[in-house]
Chains A and B, each alone.
Chain A
Amino acid sequence: MARSHRRIMPVALAAAAALTLTACGGGGNFGGDDDTGGDGEAEEGPIVIGAVLDITGVGANLGVPEQNTLQMLADQLNAEGGINGREVELIIKDNQSTEDGAARATTELIQNDDVDLIIGASRTGPSLAMRPIVESEQIPNISIAANAAIVEGSDWVFKTAQNDVVVIQSIIDNMAEKGYKTVALARDATGFGEGIAEMITEVGAEQGIELIATESFEPSATDFTAQMTNIRNAEADANIIWGITPSAGLAQAAYVQLGIDAPVYQSHGVANDAFFEAAGDAADGVLAPMGRLLVADQLPDDDPQLPVIDQFVADYTEEFGTPPSSFAGHAYDAWKIAVIALEEAGTDADALRDAIENVSGFVGISGVFEMSPENHSGLDSSALIMAEAGDGRWNLAE
């Protein structure tokens, strides 16, 4: 079905007039659902990339650096002459960290702005809300959220953040090396902590490590005595605290407070400075798998990611005055993958999707990506290093 371009003269009705304040390009609200983005699109004119980010709301600390990154990279790209001579227009929408906001923004980008590709969202929930829309509209989407469910079985959705299972793989490998046999888990009760226990059980079984206790805590929780008491009683060889700051930091403080001396692994959710504010001295010695970004200064010189990370950190710091977070890194990877595919395939949706699936050996901030039709995530555990907390920062662990 061709997009209808009916333009109906605004009817001079008082009631309607009030509502048409921002109505300039009316008539686009009946875009058919099978109106594929690539259909008969000219392979010329500006390329339009949309982004749906958690710029306001609970995900703001993720979305804002991501927004900065994308804006910076788009400016750089256009300064260099765009993609194959075509200018790139970046349109960023805020989903207010809500599912309906994400659905809204996605619909708007597709129907109003005719985007060729969408980046986002920052977190799992909004990303899942975008998925049915991009699939039915057939627009390639690169999410920068973590949960594997975002891409599972999807033809159109990709993501650049490591799968949780990759992080768990990395923790379990480290545990196995040290000879631990039992592990207890305290996870947060959000989407971030969802399904973690099951993954640990599954991955651990391969290495002979058994999950013997699971506790959960609310992301807004302030007291963790109950959970940590139960963890203490489990007497596991090592424990995992899986959450984001500040709750993961407060949980860490309670852990030390209750005198538990088994080693602690945390997730990549604490790969930031806020963790140290919340955990204080209790942070020392915590192990956490994360991307190389935070420990770039300690990487060996031959690390292939080093020049990429150094360049990005330098650019970002110069532009915004603070070093980039790992979330900014996910946005960087999403942008670069999009650009590689667009250079390769242009703006035809099907060709673009196939091109993303063929991205291979791309060295990004979070790791080296190997996309395929089966794997829309592209990172394995080699993307992660094990970091150890000490002196109020993350260091490369031995």
Chain B
Amino acid sequence: MKTDSTDEKALLKGLALNDRNSVETIYKLFYNMVQSLIINNNGTADDARDIFQETVIVLYEKAKTGSFELNCQLKTYVYSVSRRLWLKKLQQQQKFLPSMNNLEETVPVEEEVESNSQRNAEFQMMEKALLHLGEPCRSLIEAFYLQKKNMTDIAGHFGYTNADNAKNQKYKCLMRLRKLFFAEFKNNNV
């Protein structure tokens, strides 16, 4: 299970591109470690899954910036992030905080975890806004902006006579989504 730093760099590069193989490798390498950490500290298998995925997302966001310099073993980093995330979650649930037995060494990751939770909040707002948008706007927006389909396909799929019609509709939907999102944003920040 040892990985050297060149492997790790390649792995992170693949991760940044949302490459399935890289994700699988990371899963195989670290999942069991994180799972033991969670389960030995008052967690369930579902908790382990959530925390691990959060951790990989943190890693993904870091990798995407391209300027990510890993100063320690990837394993240590993953462990640190998971640990921090789990402690935070326990704190939120106001559960009894276990004195996490530090078998592994950790590195400070507060900053990453903080910005991750900030981003998560924003994504949740977007999700909520999309939910409030209703059909067919939601599917239209998702098809174009999320699945990045091209306008002609979308027009065919949604039964618009031509791409221009679909485009107009899409912009109208987008304007509404923007309104909903910013309303949500204001709500959360007040």
Pair from one complex: no
